[in-house]
Amino acid sequence: MAGIINLTPDSFYGKSRCSTESEALKKAEQFISEGADILDIGAESSRPGSLPIPIDVELTRLLPVISILRKSKGVAISVDTYKPHVAERVLDQGVEWINDITGLQKYGEMANIIARYKAGVMILHMRETPATMQDCTHYEDLVGEITQYLKRSITIAELAGITRIIIDPGIGFGKTTQQNLELLRRLDEFKVLNKPVLLGVSRKAFIGSVLNLPEGERLEGSLAAAVIGVMRGARILRVHDVKETVRAVKMAQAIMDWERK
Protein backbone atom coordinates (compact mmCIF):
# COMPACT_ATOMS: atom_id res chain seq x y z
CA MET A 1 0.00 0.00 0.00
CA ALA A 2 1.42 3.37 -1.04
CA GLY A 3 0.19 6.43 0.84
CA ILE A 4 0.12 9.70 -1.11
CA ILE A 5 1.82 12.75 0.38
CA ASN A 6 1.55 15.84 -1.81
CA LEU A 7 3.86 18.77 -1.11
CA THR A 8 1.87 20.87 -3.55
CA PRO A 9 -0.66 23.69 -3.21
CA ASP A 10 -2.71 22.50 -6.19
CA SER A 11 -3.12 18.71 -6.09
CA PHE A 12 -6.70 17.81 -6.93
CA TYR A 13 -7.56 16.41 -3.47
CA GLY A 14 -7.06 19.07 -0.84
CA LYS A 15 -6.63 16.73 2.13
CA SER A 16 -3.58 15.14 0.49
CA ARG A 17 -1.69 18.44 0.52
CA CYS A 18 0.98 19.14 3.12
CA SER A 19 2.24 22.71 3.24
CA THR A 20 4.82 22.22 6.01
CA GLU A 21 7.36 19.61 7.05
CA SER A 22 5.44 18.93 10.26
CA GLU A 23 2.23 18.25 8.30
CA ALA A 24 4.10 15.82 6.04
CA LEU A 25 5.64 14.04 9.02
CA LYS A 26 2.28 13.77 10.76
CA LYS A 27 0.65 12.30 7.65
CA ALA A 28 3.56 9.90 7.16
CA GLU A 29 3.29 8.66 10.75
CA GLN A 30 -0.45 8.21 10.28
CA PHE A 31 -0.01 6.24 7.05
CA ILE A 32 2.68 4.01 8.57
CA SER A 33 0.47 3.22 11.58
CA GLU A 34 -2.40 2.40 9.21
CA GLY A 35 -0.39 -0.10 7.17
CA ALA A 36 1.40 1.78 4.38
CA ASP A 37 4.47 0.03 2.94
CA ILE A 38 5.46 2.98 0.74
CA LEU A 39 5.22 6.74 1.14
CA ASP A 40 4.82 8.27 -2.33
CA ILE A 41 5.89 11.91 -2.16
CA GLY A 42 5.23 14.42 -4.91
CA ALA A 43 6.07 18.11 -5.18
CA GLU A 44 4.61 18.82 -8.62
CA SER A 45 0.94 18.19 -9.34
CA SER A 46 0.09 15.89 -12.26
CA ARG A 47 -3.66 16.54 -12.17
CA PRO A 48 -5.27 17.17 -15.58
CA GLY A 49 -4.38 20.65 -16.76
CA SER A 50 -1.46 21.15 -14.38
CA LEU A 51 1.76 22.82 -15.54
CA PRO A 52 5.40 22.04 -14.70
CA ILE A 53 7.18 23.87 -11.91
CA PRO A 54 10.86 24.90 -11.81
CA ILE A 55 13.34 22.28 -10.60
CA ASP A 56 14.51 24.47 -7.72
CA VAL A 57 10.94 24.83 -6.43
CA GLU A 58 10.40 21.08 -6.62
CA LEU A 59 13.62 20.39 -4.70
CA THR A 60 12.89 23.07 -2.10
CA ARG A 61 9.63 21.27 -1.35
CA LEU A 62 11.07 17.76 -1.43
CA LEU A 63 14.48 17.72 0.23
CA PRO A 64 13.59 18.88 3.77
CA VAL A 65 10.70 16.40 3.96
CA ILE A 66 12.76 13.51 2.60
CA SER A 67 15.51 14.30 5.11
CA ILE A 68 12.97 13.69 7.88
CA LEU A 69 11.01 10.80 6.39
CA ARG A 70 13.95 8.64 5.30
CA LYS A 71 14.53 7.92 8.98
CA SER A 72 11.14 6.20 9.18
CA LYS A 73 11.45 2.49 9.88
CA GLY A 74 9.72 -0.26 7.92
CA VAL A 75 8.54 1.89 5.04
CA ALA A 76 10.02 2.71 1.64
CA ILE A 77 10.04 6.19 0.15
CA SER A 78 9.08 6.87 -3.45
CA VAL A 79 9.34 10.25 -5.13
CA ASP A 80 6.95 11.17 -7.91
CA THR A 81 9.15 12.98 -10.44
CA TYR A 82 10.11 12.70 -14.11
CA LYS A 83 13.07 15.12 -13.93
CA PRO A 84 16.55 13.54 -13.90
CA HIS A 85 18.17 16.21 -11.72
CA VAL A 86 15.41 15.94 -9.13
CA ALA A 87 15.65 12.14 -9.19
CA GLU A 88 19.42 12.28 -8.67
CA ARG A 89 19.13 14.62 -5.70
CA VAL A 90 16.46 12.60 -3.91
CA LEU A 91 18.14 9.27 -4.62
CA ASP A 92 21.28 10.72 -3.09
CA GLN A 93 19.17 11.29 0.04
CA GLY A 94 18.30 7.59 0.24
CA VAL A 95 14.99 7.39 -1.64
CA GLU A 96 14.29 3.81 -2.81
CA TRP A 97 11.88 4.37 -5.70
CA ILE A 98 11.23 6.87 -8.46
CA ASN A 99 7.65 7.13 -9.71
CA ASP A 100 8.00 8.46 -13.27
CA ILE A 101 4.74 9.53 -14.91
CA THR A 102 6.52 9.64 -18.28
CA GLY A 103 7.55 5.99 -18.05
CA LEU A 104 11.25 6.83 -18.54
CA GLN A 105 10.39 8.02 -22.06
CA LYS A 106 10.86 11.79 -21.66
CA TYR A 107 14.50 12.01 -20.59
CA GLY A 108 17.04 9.45 -21.75
CA GLU A 109 19.30 9.83 -18.71
CA MET A 110 16.58 9.07 -16.15
CA ALA A 111 16.91 5.28 -16.35
CA ASN A 112 20.69 5.42 -15.98
CA ILE A 113 20.44 7.62 -12.89
CA ILE A 114 17.98 5.25 -11.23
CA ALA A 115 20.14 2.25 -12.11
CA ARG A 116 23.27 3.90 -10.74
CA TYR A 117 21.62 4.20 -7.34
CA LYS A 118 20.23 0.63 -7.57
CA ALA A 119 16.76 2.06 -6.97
CA GLY A 120 13.43 0.81 -8.25
CA VAL A 121 11.16 2.50 -10.76
CA MET A 122 7.40 2.83 -11.14
CA ILE A 123 6.57 3.42 -14.80
CA LEU A 124 3.23 4.92 -15.74
CA HIS A 125 1.41 5.24 -19.04
CA MET A 126 0.50 8.79 -19.98
CA ARG A 127 0.03 10.56 -23.29
CA GLU A 128 1.61 13.98 -23.80
CA THR A 129 1.73 15.98 -20.53
CA PRO A 130 -0.66 16.54 -17.63
CA ALA A 131 -1.60 19.87 -19.24
CA THR A 132 -2.68 18.22 -22.52
CA MET A 133 -3.32 14.55 -21.75
CA GLN A 134 -7.11 14.82 -21.64
CA ASP A 135 -7.04 16.04 -25.24
CA CYS A 136 -5.40 12.76 -26.28
CA THR A 137 -7.93 10.09 -25.37
CA HIS A 138 -8.49 8.35 -28.73
CA TYR A 139 -7.25 4.75 -28.83
CA GLU A 140 -7.71 2.13 -31.51
CA ASP A 141 -6.79 -0.59 -28.99
CA LEU A 142 -6.78 0.73 -25.42
CA VAL A 143 -5.12 -2.14 -23.58
CA GLY A 144 -2.92 -3.10 -26.51
CA GLU A 145 -1.50 0.40 -26.95
CA ILE A 146 -0.87 0.84 -23.24
CA THR A 147 0.79 -2.58 -23.09
CA GLN A 148 3.14 -1.68 -25.93
CA TYR A 149 4.02 1.64 -24.27
CA LEU A 150 4.79 -0.07 -20.97
CA LYS A 151 6.80 -2.74 -22.77
CA ARG A 152 9.01 0.01 -24.24
CA SER A 153 9.46 1.51 -20.79
CA ILE A 154 10.38 -1.88 -19.32
CA THR A 155 12.99 -2.35 -22.06
CA ILE A 156 14.49 1.08 -21.31
CA ALA A 157 14.67 0.21 -17.61
CA GLU A 158 16.17 -3.23 -18.10
CA LEU A 159 18.77 -2.07 -20.62
CA ALA A 160 19.90 0.51 -18.04
CA GLY A 161 20.22 -2.22 -15.42
CA ILE A 162 17.15 -1.48 -13.28
CA THR A 163 15.91 -4.71 -11.71
CA ARG A 164 12.97 -3.51 -9.63
CA ILE A 165 10.21 -2.40 -12.01
CA ILE A 166 6.54 -1.73 -11.29
CA ILE A 167 4.04 -0.87 -14.04
CA ASP A 168 1.07 1.46 -13.82
CA PRO A 169 -1.54 1.62 -16.63
CA GLY A 170 -2.20 5.26 -15.75
CA ILE A 171 -5.83 5.46 -14.68
CA GLY A 172 -6.91 9.06 -15.27
CA PHE A 173 -3.87 9.98 -17.35
CA GLY A 174 -5.20 10.65 -20.83
CA LYS A 175 -8.27 8.42 -20.51
CA THR A 176 -11.99 9.01 -20.45
CA THR A 177 -14.31 7.71 -17.73
CA GLN A 178 -15.32 4.73 -19.87
CA GLN A 179 -11.71 3.95 -20.72
CA ASN A 180 -10.76 4.01 -17.03
CA LEU A 181 -13.59 1.59 -16.26
CA GLU A 182 -12.46 -0.66 -19.11
CA LEU A 183 -8.90 -0.68 -17.78
CA LEU A 184 -10.13 -1.78 -14.37
CA ARG A 185 -12.19 -4.59 -15.94
CA ARG A 186 -9.23 -5.73 -18.03
CA LEU A 187 -6.41 -5.10 -15.56
CA ASP A 188 -5.45 -8.78 -15.50
CA GLU A 189 -4.37 -8.51 -19.16
CA PHE A 190 -1.25 -6.63 -18.07
CA LYS A 191 0.05 -9.86 -16.52
CA VAL A 192 1.68 -10.55 -19.90
CA LEU A 193 4.34 -7.99 -18.94
CA ASN A 194 5.42 -10.07 -15.92
CA LYS A 195 5.77 -7.05 -13.64
CA PRO A 196 3.85 -6.05 -10.51
CA VAL A 197 0.94 -3.74 -11.31
CA LEU A 198 0.41 -0.52 -9.37
CA LEU A 199 -3.09 0.94 -9.44
CA GLY A 200 -3.89 4.57 -8.71
CA VAL A 201 -7.63 5.16 -8.60
CA SER A 202 -8.04 6.99 -5.31
CA ARG A 203 -10.69 9.73 -5.47
CA LYS A 204 -10.07 10.34 -9.19
CA ALA A 205 -12.37 12.15 -11.58
CA PHE A 206 -13.81 9.03 -13.20
CA ILE A 207 -15.22 8.02 -9.81
CA GLY A 208 -16.74 11.47 -9.46
CA SER A 209 -18.17 11.13 -12.95
CA VAL A 210 -19.85 7.80 -12.18
CA LEU A 211 -21.19 8.84 -8.77
CA ASN A 212 -21.63 12.56 -9.46
CA LEU A 213 -19.64 13.42 -6.35
CA PRO A 214 -16.76 15.82 -5.51
CA GLU A 215 -13.31 14.62 -4.39
CA GLY A 216 -14.19 14.71 -0.71
CA GLU A 217 -17.08 12.26 -1.15
CA ARG A 218 -15.39 9.62 -3.31
CA LEU A 219 -14.09 7.27 -0.60
CA GLU A 220 -16.62 4.50 -1.16
CA GLY A 221 -16.13 4.62 -4.92
CA SER A 222 -12.37 4.51 -4.42
CA LEU A 223 -12.64 1.45 -2.18
CA ALA A 224 -14.85 -0.35 -4.72
CA ALA A 225 -12.36 0.38 -7.50
CA ALA A 226 -9.42 -0.67 -5.32
CA VAL A 227 -11.03 -4.02 -4.44
CA ILE A 228 -11.86 -4.72 -8.07
CA GLY A 229 -8.29 -3.81 -8.95
CA VAL A 230 -6.88 -6.28 -6.45
CA MET A 231 -9.22 -8.98 -7.73
CA ARG A 232 -7.92 -8.24 -11.24
CA GLY A 233 -4.29 -8.56 -10.20
CA ALA A 234 -3.09 -5.21 -8.80
CA ARG A 235 -0.24 -5.73 -6.36
CA ILE A 236 0.15 -2.18 -5.08
CA LEU A 237 -2.47 0.52 -4.50
CA ARG A 238 -1.58 4.20 -4.44
CA VAL A 239 -4.14 5.81 -2.14
CA HIS A 240 -5.14 8.85 -0.11
CA ASP A 241 -6.98 6.76 2.50
CA VAL A 242 -4.64 4.05 3.79
CA LYS A 243 -6.60 2.71 6.76
CA GLU A 244 -9.87 2.28 4.90
CA THR A 245 -8.23 0.75 1.83
CA VAL A 246 -6.15 -1.68 3.88
CA ARG A 247 -9.30 -2.91 5.62
CA ALA A 248 -11.31 -3.24 2.40
CA VAL A 249 -8.52 -5.14 0.64
CA LYS A 250 -7.92 -7.39 3.64
CA MET A 251 -11.57 -8.43 3.57
CA ALA A 252 -11.51 -8.99 -0.19
CA GLN A 253 -8.35 -11.07 0.06
CA ALA A 254 -9.87 -13.20 2.84
CA ILE A 255 -12.82 -13.98 0.56
CA MET A 256 -10.55 -14.77 -2.39
CA ASP A 257 -8.30 -16.97 -0.25
CA TRP A 258 -11.34 -18.92 0.97
CA GLU A 259 -12.40 -19.51 -2.63
CA ARG A 260 -8.97 -20.98 -3.43
CA LYS A 261 -9.07 -23.51 -0.58
From 17, 127, 195, 238, active-site residue = 238
**Dist CA 181 CA 177 (whole Å):** 6
Task: Please give the angle made by the CA atoms of 208, 77 and 124, to the nearest 5 degrees.
Answer: 50
Which element (helix H / strand E) includes 197?
Answer: none
State yes or no: is 89 an active-site residue. Answer: no
Q: For residues 179 and 175, give the distance between their C-alpha atoms in angstroms, rounded to a whole number.
A: 6
Catalytic residue among 195, 204, 218, 232: 204
Residue by residue, DSSP assigns 117-139 as: TT-EEEEE--SS-TTTGGG----
Answer yes or no: are the C-beta atoms of 134 and 173 closer than 8 Å. no
List strand residue ranges (DSSP E) for 183-259, in order.
Answer: 198-199, 236-239
Q: Active site includes 238?
A: yes
Active site (catalytic) residues = 204, 238
